[in-house]
Amino acid sequence: DAIINDGPNLLLVVEKLPGVSTLEVTQGVEAALDALRPGLAGIKFDATLFRPATFIEMAIANLTRTLVIGAVLVVLILGAFFYGWRTALISLVAIPLSLVAALLVLYLRGATFNTVLLAGLVIALGVVVDDAIVDVEHIVRRLRQHRQEGSDKSPATIILEASLEMRSALFFATLIIALAVMPVFFMEGESGALFQPLAVSCALAVLASMLVALTATPALSLILLSSMSTAPLQRRESPLVPWLQRGYERV
């Protein structure tokens, strides 16, 4: 029994059990109200007074828009630095592949996608982007170096050697990051319950990024970069990089 919009009304509160999807419950309640409507003539239903699903739908829409904007910015930045669609494409594939691999492991572990897991992925995103960019840049630099020197090594050999050069550094960098978040797994109480899922998603994303850098990135480089000759490699070097390098050296 309630007063709504200055008039007597009935207020029906529907509660859901923990762990149940708010969106599914809301859709079910609204479907039930639509089914009841023909038999309750003269009664007006308003399911928008307090609808938590609206917040979730707005959050998903905002997140989708942010991801699209972020993806566009990543494409522009990769294009500006790599100055070639092949190298940019490799990094552009490696970044989401690492995140999807981490999400797949989380899904198989039975984890639900929430803001805590999302925060862990965001924290790891810097490492993921770094792995995707640094590995490709190192492979391209080695290809350019060998071809300028007139080396008779095959592109596959050069790419393999460049990947092996990065392997130990990549492994120890990943190990350092994993050790840095290790104390979180020994936290107890509410703090442990809050931060452990974040640390898990962050660690999984970093490990997935390392695996992608050691497998998918060299394979994509072999497919997309092995046919490039010396001239295109030289011409495709971004003019932004020498300008930034000069400024960096002066600083």
For residue range 122-162, list pLDDT tens digits in order. Answer: 888 888 888 878 888 888 888 888 877 777 788 888 888 88
Classified as helix, coil or strand, 149 is coil
DSSP 13-72: -----TTS-HHHHHHHHHHHHHHHGGGSTT----TTSS-HHHHHHHHHHHHHHHHHHHHH
Contact 7, 46 (CB under 8 A): no
- 2-17 pLDDT tens trace: 787 788 888 888 888 8
Structure tokens at 173: 């960098």
**Residue 25 binned pLDDT confidence (cut-offs 50, 70, 90):** very high
**Residue 4: what are its φ and ψ, rounded to 5°?**
-130, 130
Find where tokens 């970069």 sit: 225
Pull the structure tokens for residue 246. Answer: 């000069």
Give the per-residue pLDDT at 231: 45
CA angle 29, 35, 39 (to 5 degrees): 125
Angle at alpha carbon of residue 57, lines to 92 and 13, rounded to 5°: 155
Q: What is the pTM of this model?
A: 0.66
Residue 251 has pLDDT above 90, yes or no: yes
Higher pLDDT, residue 228 or 58: 58
Note the pLDDT of residue 229: 47
Supply 88's token pair: 């940019």
Q: Work out the angle between the directed axes of helices 52-82 and 115-148 (0-180°, nearest 10).
A: 10
Say what percent of the chain tops pLDDT 70: 96
Q: Which amino acid is at 87?
A: T
Select from 89, 117, 87 the least CA-distant residue to 103: 117
